[in-house]
Every structure is written in C-alpha cells, then in structure tokens.
Amino acid sequence: MAAQPKPKIEIKGGSEALRENIRHFLPLYDEACNTPPWRLRSLLRESEREIAAAGQALGYYRLTFEHELTRTDDCWNMVVTLTPGDPVLVQEVRIVISGDGVSDPAFQRIQEKPDIAKGDRLNHGRYETLKNRFTTLAANRGYFDGKFQHARVAVNVGENAAVVELVYDTGPRYRIGTINIEQDILNDGFVQRYIEFKEGDYYNAEELLELKSRYNNSNFFSTSTIAPDLQNLEGESVPINISLEARKRYSYSVGAGVATDTGPRLLFGFEDRYISRRGHSLTADLSLSEVTSTFETAYNIPMTRPADEYLKVYTGYERTNTESSRSDLYKIGSSYTRFEDNDWLYTYALNYEREDSVVGSEDEKRTHLIIPSVSIFRTEHDGNISYPRRGWNLLARLSGSPETLGSSTSFIQLYGRAKYIYPLGKGRLLLRTEAGMTEVDELTELPASVRFFAGGDASVRGYDYKSLGPKKDIEVDGEVVREVVGGNNLLVTSVEYDYLVRPKWAVAAFYDQGNAGDDFDFDFARSVGLGVRWISPIGPVRVDVAKALDEGRGWALHLSMGPDL
C-alpha cells in the first residue's frame, strides 16, 4: 500500500529554537492534504495569537510573520517566514527571600545563581524553571508553608527591557516528628538502626530517599514506602510514615557458567534472610568445577549501622587442582566489614586454615595457619553496571601468619589489584594491574594457596591458568623438565581497547604481560590478542583469542564472563 501524502510546512527566519517553539504551537500540523485552502488560511489567522505567544516565550515581543500557501496535485504546502525583531533583554533580577529559609545555604545558592542574569535574552521558560526551583527546594527541605508573595516579569516593549521580580516567603522549616514504622518480621529497634535522622531534626527529603535505598538494598525488605504525613502536621513538625514489605525468608539459587580457567561450573546457593528478629542471617554457597570447587557457610550479624557494618562467622572448604599444584583447604574464621563515609569498604578478618597441598614434584605438605588480615576496597562507575564507559576499582590486602600464634610457618603478604576504564573515542580503554609481595624465610614452607602464580583468563591470556611462575629443574624418566613452583612476588599488567559495533556487541584488542617471581626482577610473559564481547545484563561474556609471545606457545582460546568492575 502506497504511503499517504503529508503536507509540508516550512518555517523560515529566526533561530532554530524560535522555529521549533512556533511549530509546537501551530495547529496546522494536524490538518490533512484534503483540507480546503480557506480553512488553512483561517486556521493560520486564528494562530496569530499562539505564534505571538511562542515568540514572547523566548523574548521576541516584536515578532511578525508572512505565509505563502501552495498546492500540488495531491497535497498542500505552506511557507511561514518570520521576522523576529530585536529581543527583550533582562534589565534587572530582583530576588527577595524571607522566613526561616533566609539563612538556608540552599536558598542562598538560588539567590546568588538564579541562572537568569542582566543582559540575557528574556526566556519565560527559564523564569518558570527558576520559580520551580524555589517550590521544589521548599518541599524537599521542609518549608511546607512556602509561597510566592510576588512573582512577575515586567516587560517594557518600547525599551526592549524586562525586570524579573520574585519575593518568596519560605515560612518555618518543619522538623521531623513522630516516626511510624510498619513491618512485622524484625524488632522495631533493629529496623530503626537504619535511620540516621531522629525526631527533632530538620526535615530533608534526601535523607528519606537515602533511607529508602538502604531498606531496599537490605536482604530483609523488597519494597519500602517512606513519606511525610502532610495531612497530620504536629505544630511545626511532620510525622514520617515508613511501610516495609518483607522479602521471602528463604532464597534458593542455581546457576551455571563456563570459563577457560575452571571449565564448566555449577553454582548452588541458599539463604535464610532473617533467622532471628535481630536481623541475623545464614548463607550457604557451593561451586563445583573441574579445577576449583568451593563450599562456604556463613552466619551474618548486622552491627550498629546494619546497612554499612556487619560481622560474619564462617567455615568452608576449597579444592584446587591445576597443572602446577593441588590443594585441599579447610578454613574457619570471622570478619568484620564496615563501609565508611569516604566510600571505602574495610574488612578485618581472622582465619584458621588447614591445607594439604602439593606444588610440582614437592612432597605433600600439611600446614596450619592462623591468618589475620585487613583489606580495603572501592569501586566507582558511571552507573552502567553491564558496560561502564568510565570507572575504576581498587583492592588492597595485608595479611600474615605469625608462628607466635601457633602457625606452622611465618609470612607477611601484601596484595593489590586495580582496574581503570576510560572512554576513548567511540570505545573504551581498559587498564588492569595485579601485584603481590611476600616476605617468608623459605618459599617451600608456604602452601599452594599462598604462593603467587600468573596466567589465565583474568591474568596473562595466552597461557594456562596458574601456569606462570618461577621454575625449577626436575628429572623425569632421565630427562630434565622445568616445573612451575610459584613465587613470592607477582606483577601483571594489561592494556585493552574495545569498541561497540552493535548495541550489545563489541570487539577488543589487548596486550597482557606479567609473571610471578622470587624477586622483583620479573621475567615477563607477554601476549597479544583479539576478542568479542556480548554485553549481557550481568556484564560482558568474553571470547578471546590470545597469542603467547614467549615460551614457544601458540594461540589460546579464553572464555570468561562477569562485570568489568
């Protein structure tokens, strides 16, 4: 079926903003091709007031126009030519604030920077925006009686000048009144620990939004409603009503994935979100793969600031089997985690670990380690979790195991990793580094889990998982073979650039280098490669082909998935 013809209306003269504003006001755009010419001319004459209003909204009080109507065989066309004239300029801006808000820095900022200045072309839209800034700020900061005592734009068309006048009385600033909480799964005292304001504090809507976010991000509540009760004001106080809807108490999860480092893996999880009315919870997680299998169960105890602070007691098992080492690790421990106001996450932990491990041809060794540690972590991004264009994260951890506490060996270890994402052209630059340093008398006294290795999907691509590190010579069937035994220190760096070719697909090129070492004179293994990314809701699924540039290796395929940060 052929497309129906449409009228063509062209507006000439003036600025693009003026033409677009007038298009918005013209009713002719709703007319069909068979509209008779007399009706079109009549509509245009009736639109003169709307066109004048559209011009005045942008400061053109002397606007005039002409029109020309033409007709083809199947439709009509019209050209409207504008003569805007000189615009009205702002001659003066008068803003007066009274009431409790006169000393409020938020109102003072509006008064100092109203976004309308002397000499600007008059724009009634910006004037209305300025008025809305007053009313919105008053509602957000508890000035519920605020009102304009005087608000106008005085225009002198003869002089092309305007005076903007606003007099706003904020009235009193209301304080927090009674806080009413409606929920039925936890102690009210515990739920109140999420609230960082108290009765008698000044009302601030941003604090209510932050509280709503804390409740929604907790494991306890699926939705929260937090609102001031403006119908029942208590003098100059406003009651706050909080309604919380509980999540299901029990959560079960099953998942699957695949990565070159670990092969196929299965994931199982269980959570009892509120094992007690004090907010205690229980979690159990199981991960099974050919290379690494783990199980951990943890009892979690929220502390004074439950959204930002918790204590965890846990026990678990981890089995790792790579070409260079094998390990069976049992642990029990506790950790205290606190999210500070400076956006850093601090974790203090104390673990007891018993590990049976074999590295290369070394004899199987059983170690008993008591490991205190402290770590800090922070991540920042532009809000796009699945494919951030800008962001970074950093983890640093200090740990050790003194023999004085009963450990079978003493060591101290510093480990860190960082990633940085920066927009470059139409793509992204991804920088990654990982470093570690260990102080120990004899490396052979360390179990496999504490030694450093490199290589793999998230390390130096082109090399097998944990296949890089210091080597020693051994004799196998009369031949000398070099085997990887791990190292005291670690340094890995990576530079990658990816480019979106479709909304959910990107191509990448990268260069990796790194290795583990007994000292800081690293013998870096290097690789280059190309990759394809599918941007899934949980982060990119990566397929990389990497060419190892050392050790006489060829090409290697790497599969991995998960968020960039």
pLDDT at 476: 59
pLDDT at 1: 47
Q: What's the token pair of residue 28?
A: 């002719």
Answer yes or no: are the C-beta atoms of 224 and 242 closer than 8 Å.
Answer: yes
Strands of 183-308 (E only): list them.
221-228, 237-246, 250-259, 263-272, 281-289, 292-302
Answer yes or no: are the C-beta atoms of 56 and 121 closer than 8 Å.
Answer: no
Rounded to an integer, what distance in angstroms lies between the CA atom of residue 240 and that of residue 11? 53
Q: Counting beta carbons within 10 angstroms of the beta carbon of residue 449, is it exposed (0 to 12), middle (13 to 18) or buried (19 or more)?
A: middle
Q: What is the pTM of this model?
A: 0.81
pLDDT at 356: 94
Rounded to an integer, what distance in angstroms lies between the CA atom of residue 415 and that of residue 398? 7
Q: CA angle at residue 314 from 310 to 319, to 5 degrees?
A: 135
Rounded to an integer, what distance in angstroms lies between the CA atom of residue 298 and that of residue 316? 9
Shortest CA distance to 302 belongs to which of 279, 286, 320? 279
Rounded to an integer, what distance in angstroms lies between the CA atom of residue 410 and that of residue 378? 29
Rounded to an integer, what distance in angstroms lies between the CA atom of residue 469 and that of residue 521? 12
Answer yes or no: are the C-beta atoms of 506 and 535 closer than 8 Å.
Answer: yes
Shortest CA distance to 246 belongs to which of 278, 277, 224, 275? 224
Rounded to an integer, what distance in angstroms lies between the CA atom of residue 154 and that of residue 224? 46
How far is C-alpha 43 from the chain's CA centre? 51
pLDDT at 258: 85
Put residue 372 in one of left, alpha, beta given phi > 0 → left and psi -120 to 50 → alpha.
Answer: beta
Answer yes or no: are the C-beta atoms of 506 and 498 closer than 8 Å.
Answer: yes
Residues 6 or more apart from 170 whose CB is under 8 A from it? 97, 98, 99, 100, 101, 102, 104, 107, 138, 143, 145, 146
Q: What's the token pair of residue 459?
A: 């390390």
Shortest CA distance to 299 belongs to which of 331, 330, 269, 275? 275
Q: CA angle at residue 341 from 339 to 344, to 5 degrees?
A: 50
Shortest CA distance to 367 belongs to which of 296, 434, 311, 449? 449
- Residue 72 per-residue DSSP state: -
pLDDT at 362: 84
Answer yes or no: are the C-beta atoms of 499 and 427 closer than 8 Å.
Answer: yes
Q: What's the token pair of residue 66?
A: 């002409």
Around Cβ 383, how many Cβ atoms within 10 Å?
8
8-12 sheet: strands from edge to edge: 8-12, 76-83, 64-71
pLDDT at 465: 92
Answer yes or no: are the C-beta atoms of 267 and 284 closer than 8 Å.
Answer: no
Rounded to an integer, what distance in angstroms lies between the CA atom of residue 471 and that of residue 490? 14
In single-letter form, the type of residue at position 344 comes to W
Instruction: Provide the 3-class DSSP secondary structure of residue 106.
Output: helix
Mean pLDDT by groups of 10 residues along the chain of 565 residues: 74 89 81 82 80 89 86 84 91 94 93 91 93 95 94 91 94 94 93 93 94 93 93 91 95 90 92 94 96 96 93 97 92 96 92 93 90 96 90 96 90 97 93 96 90 93 92 68 88 96 94 92 92 90 93 85 88
Residues 6 or more apart from 261 whose CB is under 8 A from it? 291, 456, 457, 458, 465, 560
Nearest-10 Cα torsion for 12, 17, 20, 24: -130
pLDDT at 77: 85
Phi, psi of 493 (to 5 degrees): -135, 155
Nearest-10 Cα torsion for 384, 386, 389, 390: 70
Residues 6 or more apart from 42 whose CB is under 8 A from it? none
